[in-house]
Structure 1
Amino acid sequence: MPVIKLKQALHHQQDENAFIVLLKDKGGLRDIPAFCQQQKLHCELLAQAPVIEFLVCRKKESLCR
């Protein structure tokens, strides 16, 4: 479900370059990076506990390093 919601956010908010993704399900630790790699998005793990937090960027030049 988190990948589907991220995909929808990317589609509906095309003017946004960066997204914070918050998850409770540990499956997202592999699903979100795999999706980002397929879509050529930059993905950075920010935190794992108590909530999993990713920074996902469309372009490396944006908020991502």
Structure 2
Amino acid sequence: MGIGDMVNKGKDALSNVTGDEQKTDAALDKGQDFANDRFSGHDDKLQKGRDALDDRLGDKN
């Protein structure tokens, strides 16, 4: 599985939960755990990316 495949899989998963804060948080946490396992030593950058995505997803109220 290449990086493009992983990105597309992530987009598909997030499109199903956008608008529901609990679901987006769970999906982002799962994605971050996966990324942390694959790219150890970059936890701080991965956390910043996760936080940026969280700001754009979830509840818009």
| TM-score, normalising length: structure 2 | 0.37
TM-score (norm 1): 0.36
For the pair shown, which has the larger CA radius of gyration, 1 or 2?
2
Q: RCO greater where, 1 or 2, for CA within 8 Å and sep 6 or more?
A: 2
